[in-house]
Structure 1
Amino acid sequence: MTGDTLWDLLVRRAARTPDAPALIQGAVSARDERRIAFGGLHRRAERVAAGLYELGVRPGSRVVWQLPTRIETVLLSLALARLGAVQSPVVPLYRDHEVGQVLRRTGAAFLVVPGAWRGFDHGAMAHRLAAGLPDPLTVVEAYDTLPEADPSVLPPPPADADEPRWIYWTSGTTAGPKGVLHTDRTLCTAGRWLADALRLGPSDVGSMAFPYAHVAGPDYTVVLLLLGIPALLLEHFALPGSLAAYRRHRVTVAGGSTAFYALFLAEQRTLPPGRRLLPALRLLAGGGAPKPPALYHEVTAELGCQLVHGYAMTEAPMVTMGDPYDSPEHLATTDGRPPDGMEIRITPGTGEVRLRGPVVCRGYLDEPAPFDADGFLPTGDLGHLTPAGHLVITGRLKDVIIRKGENVSAREVEELLYRHPDVADAAVIGLPDDERGERVCAVVEQPPGAPELTLAAVTAHLVGQGLARHKLPEQLEVLPALPRGATLRKVLKQELRERFGAG
């Protein structure tokens, strides 16, 4: 399967189960929902490809698109895959600065936006940006309509699954974002591995509550195409508003990242004992951010479903994933095992995780190759492998706080902070300090109604948990909400360092 293009997978699935539901566009009210079957997805995507072709999009054309999680977005992406265009998805929350960077760096000739969406006029932004570019830019507004035409005008679909035709962007939380080059092979392999790891069956109903412009978008699409199961799409994920759609369509698999688990758990706690938030839900799955072991036990006990967490990154969309049938200890304390074909190397001395395998990107756009002499990708993450082959991520290289010459793991302190009943989430950062080199600062988000935390209470809790005294925070900051990224809601630690570094 991994030698196929994304379009090949769609053609095969449409022929096999043309009438099976593929995508369900969720809405608050059932009458506003829409759906499309696999056969219709194939036919519409081919017509959209023809419409784009008539607009001038050709094999190899560079197209930036910035659209919410909608059926139309999936159709557009599949249509570009049918044409063999180079597509560069951008999450809808980005604005002039970020989108302008992407346009300039890709040299894109086309930009597809939703028009006015959630209070912001993306069309006006697109035309502002076009006016400042050296080359012409065709702007296409495609929220609920897409260009369509007779597919007879189309050239043959692309056959090379190894041609870089996808440019995804790293978060850029510590530096300028990098354009990550992917191929149909890297993304389709990641999707196949994910389908195998989650052990989904024909009765499952998935969900996409994350931005489809994230690298997980095509990976999850591959899961649907391989298994022939549907997914609920949510243009805007918010609780409790999104719960009706989850219940209506009896979603069995949900998730996205640690922040999503915590949001579902918080809603569960508003219900009377014994009443399940989502009765059909059997699996929460995701990755993209650290998962405190205590959160695993809370989710499984209170939400009544299994929780599997994995490790991935924009450069490698599927590295490890928990097995739903693994032991609670492994699921709580590790990030799962790699599939056959994924090589993980732990660098001696530093403990940095390095990767090699068919899902790893082909490099960065207009930047030097990031690989070491053996072809492994340095990740900047720290971790180790257990004797059973499970990966345990222990932090980031930049999250090692060096206080008076002693190393402090930010993640270790965060996991202990999470056990405090008055902490909903926590981020631990190192801040410049003339005396210590770096001081340990804990930034916490509290649950509604919790009494305000003090530094003394936090340190007493950590001492009670057995944390060494040289690792205790010397600064505490309480925020209404931790700043998070636009895709999988990862905490933006660089923003915290900039905000509190001068204190």
Structure 2
Amino acid sequence: PDYLVMLLLYGFPAVLFEHFAMPAALDGYRRHGVTVAGGSTAFYSMFLAEQRKDPARKVVPSLRLLAGGGAPKPPEIYHAVVREMGCGLTHGYGMTEVPMITMGSPDDTAENLATTEGRPPEGMEIRVTAEDGTPLPTGVDGEVRLRGEAVCRGYLDPSQNAAAFDRDGFLITGDVGHLTASGHLVLTGRLKDIIIRKGENISAKEIEDLLHRHPGVGDAAVVGLPDPARGERVCAVVEQPPGAAPLTLEEVTAYLRAQGLSVHKLPEQLELVDALPRNETLHKVLKYKLRERFTADRASRPPGPTAQASGLSGVSGVSGPGVV
């Protein structure tokens, strides 16, 4: 809806694709001289993959900006787009109940564009709170709550409203993050993406951002799986680029340690997949499917440090003793 409003307000042209697929879509972008494109993190990655086929030739010569939202954006994706595609990238944060929460601006600093979701538009209030709704200070992680003209008034089923809004009328998002001194929002995960391992809170996004820097990782999702001894264990599910040598759990944990990740946050299970499961609109990774798949798969595996599994476009599973 945000892009439709801009089209109607300012009258600039748009190129519509009945079905987006690479590399077939590139001809349309080039023929019409598209200057702004995007969609979500998965789309940025698809543009990058095409650019890397011929680094010396700009994949869409007219392109000056990729823009989108709908899924977490690892900082490395931002830096790769700017460095390899020679254009900018602005990313935003929204949801069905609130289409525009924050958006990066082309005049933001590179640091803010890489590591934040941007700032809220006029009329949008963002409150970061403790679990009981108490507001937290700048820089402290908590639950993100929203109030403003763009927030929906409620649900068609009124019984859902009591749990969705707090006593001050703020929508409870279930997302975790903090505000910076400049008013930019940093998302660090979702409440259900916080893995609680032996009483310690672990951010899945922190691990995912580090994994995206590894040359043998095309995309990654980190989930918590039930574990009788630890409550939850950390499972990294990795989609590798074509031709990459299969990663091992030992290689992944050594890399993450070299990147400065604390020992208690290291993955205890690695799953390699041909393709992460995604929805059909913004290609957002469906983590619940990964949790369901690998929870069931683990229960059926024989004991031992390694095992093979089938499904999800050819999965290989590697697990180890992890950390204590």
How high is the TM-score relative to the length of structure 2? 0.87
Q: By how many angstroms is 1:348 displaced?
A: 2.5
- The amino acid that maps onto 2:254 is A
CA distance in 2, matches of 1:275, 1:373: 55
C-alpha separation in 1, matches of 2:293 and 2:184: 36
Equivalent in the alignment of 2:221:
427
Residue 371 of structure 1, CA deviation: 1.4
Distance in 2 of aligned mates of 1:463 and 1:442:
15
- Does residue 304 (structure 1) correspond to residue 98 (structure 2)? The answer is no
Q: Of the candidates 463, 476, 487, which is equivalent to residue 257 of structure 2? A: 463
Tell me what 2:103 maps to: 321
Q: Deviations over 1:464-492 (max 9, x none)?
A: 10100110000000000000012111100
**Alignment match, 1:355:** 146
Structure 2 Cα separation of the partners of residues 351 and 485 of structure 1:
27
Secondary structure class of the residue paired with 2:256: helix
Give, in angstroms, the shift of residue 274 of structure 1.
2.6
Name the structure 1 match of 2:9: 226
Cα separation, 1, equivalents of 2:5 and 2:199: 47
Q: Could you report, residue by residue, the CA deviation over 1:221-243 in whole angstroms, capped at 9, with x for unpaired residues?
A: 11101011011000100000000
Per-residue displacement from partner, 1:332-377 (whole Å, max 9, x unpaired)?
0100001111000001257000000111112112242221110100
Tell me, in whole angstroms, the C-alpha distance in 1 between the residues paired with 2:215 and 2:19: 29
Residue 230 of structure 2 corresponds to residue 448 of structure 1: no
Q: Secondary structure at the match of 2:53?
A: coil
- Is 1:491 the equivalent of 2:285? yes
One of 21, 44, 55 as aligned partner of 1:238: 21
Alpha-carbon deviation of 1:219?
A: 2.6
SS at match of 1:232: coil
Letter in 2 for 1:233: L
1:340 maps to what in 2?
122
The within-5 A match list for 1:361-372 is 361-368=152-159, 369=161, 370-372=164-166
State how far apart, in whole Å, the 2-side matches of 1:268 and 1:220 are.
Answer: 25
Q: Following the alignment from structure 1 to structure 2, what is the Cα–Cα distance between the partners of residues 494 and 384?
A: 25
Question: 2 CA distance for matches of 1:363 and 1:463?
Answer: 45
Within a 5 Å distance, the mapping from 1:41-52 to structure 2 comes to none
Identity %: 70
Once the two structures are TM-superposed, the CA of residue 402 in structure 1 deviates from its matched residue by 0.5
Tell me how far 1:315 sits from its aligned partner: 0.6
Deviation of residue 432 (structure 1)?
Answer: 0.3
Amino acid at match of 1:429: V
Bigger RCO (CA 8 Å, 6+ sep): 1
Post-superposition shift, 1:252?
0.5
Which letter does structure 1 place at the counterpart of 2:79? H
Using the alignment, how far apart are the partners of 1:219 and 1:225 within structure 2?
Answer: 10
Residue 203 (structure 2) aligns with: 409
Q: Tell me the secondary structure at the aligned position of residue 211 of structure 2.
A: helix
State the TM-score, normalizing by the size of structure 1: 0.56
1:31-81, Cα deviation, whole Å (9 max, x unpaired): xxxxxxxxxxxxxxxxxxxxxxxxxxxxxxxxxxxxxxxxxxxxxxxxxxx
Partner SS state of residue 501, structure 1: helix
Matched, 1:261 2:55: no
For 1:455 and 1:438, the matched residues in 2 are separated by 18
Q: Which runs of 4+ in 1 moved over 3 A?
A: none
> Which residue in the other structure is 1:79 paired with?
none
Aligned to 2:305: none
Aligned pairs (5 A) from 1:70-89: none
Gaps of 5+ in 2: 132-140, 299-324
> Hey, what does 2:34 align to over in structure 1?
251
In structure 1, how many angstroms separate the alpha carbons of the residues matched to 2:144 and 2:279? 23
CA distance in 1, matches of 2:58, 2:150: 37
**Matched residue, 1:374:** 168
- Residue 15 of structure 2 aligns to a residue whose secondary structure is strand
Matches of 2:120 and 2:113 in 1, distance apart? 14
What letter corresponds to residue 93 of structure 2 in structure 1? Answer: Y
Paired letter, 1:339: P
5 Å-filtered alignment, 1:196-235, equals 218-235=1-18
Q: Please tell me whether residue 386 in structure 1 is matched to residue 180 in structure 2.
A: yes
CA RMSD of superposed structures (Å) = 0.9
Total equivalences in the alignment: 285
Residue 58 (structure 2) aligned to one of 260, 269, 276 = 276
Structure 1 unaligned spans of 5+: 1-217
Distance in 2, Cα, partners of 1:339 & 1:439: 38
Moved more, 234-243 or 365-374: 365-374
Higher Cα Rg, which structure: 1
Taking the aligned partners of 1:468 and 1:265, their CA distance within structure 2 comes to 30
CA distance in 2 between counterparts of 1:314 and 1:252 reads 27
Separation (CA, whole Å) in 2 of partners of 1:284 and 1:219: 15
Specify the alignment match of 2:112 in structure 1. 330
Once the two structures are superposed, what CA deviation does each residue of 1:119-177 show, in whole Å capped at 9, x if it has no partner? xxxxxxxxxxxxxxxxxxxxxxxxxxxxxxxxxxxxxxxxxxxxxxxxxxxxxxxxxxx
- SS of 2:292's equivalent in the other structure is helix
CA distance in 1, matches of 2:6, 2:122: 18
SS in 1 for 2:236: strand
Residue 472 of structure 1 corresponds to 266
Counterpart in the other structure of 2:311:
none
Q: How does 1:182-197 map to 2 (within 5 A)?
A: none
1:363 is paired with a residue whose SS is: coil
